[in-house]
Amino acid sequence: MKFLHRLTAITLLMLLLSPGIYAAENSSHLQQVETLFKLTQMEKKVNESVDTIMQLQMNQNPQLMQHQAAMRGFFERQIGWPALKSYITDMYLRTFTEEELKTINAFYITPTGQKVISTLPSLVQERNQLAMQRIQQNIGELQQIIAPPASPEAPSAPAAQ
């Protein structure tokens, strides 16, 4: 009977302590995500995307200039860093283990890692421009591929003899 009481006590103790252990592990995992966000300037990049969207909207539709402040407020509330941080954090927590994040952070903290962070956006932009240029140069081929098939012509009249 004493064994059963001890087993029950040990089980209860483990159940009571396990949330604390999980929270400590989760806290460490979360800290790695936070470190990655700092190294990659995630907050700055997310907020810059709001600026980019605003600029695109104003360029495409100048009449919206009168609503610029309200629109900025909307975009900041919906897609700014404070609005997205917890969702992005959850995505990274689900996607990368704590050990993977430690490895990623170890790379990004180096000068080469920082160079990747600073130059990758311009390389992606350059790649996208190259892709668009190639599509524009070869648009005729695409048009031929998607053009409807030529309808059969009406039979010509027999030649006079």
Q: Which residue has the higher pLDDT, 26 or 95?
A: 95
Share above pLDDT 70 across residues of the chain, in percent, rounded to a whole number? 78
Q: For residues 106 and 32, is the Cβ–Cβ distance under 8 A?
A: no
pTM: predicted TM-score of the whole model, two decimal places = 0.66
142 falls in which pLDDT band (50, 70, 90)?
confident
Closest to 82 measured CA to CA, from 30, 34, 46, 32? 46
pLDDT of residue 26: 82
Contacts of 71 (CB under 8 A, 6+ apart): 54, 57, 64
Examine the pLDDT at 11 and tell me if it is beyond 50: no
Lowest average pLDDT, out of 44-48, 99-103, 139-143, 152-156, goes to 152-156
Each residue of 113-137: pLDDT tens digit?
999 999 999 999 999 999 999 999 9
Q: What are phi and psi of 51, to 5 degrees?
A: -60, -40
H helix runs in the chain, sequence order: 2-40, 42-60, 68-79, 81-95, 98-108, 111-137, 139-146
62 falls in which pLDDT band (50, 70, 90)?
very high
Examine the pLDDT at 101 and tell me if it is beyond 50: yes
pLDDT of residue 159: 57
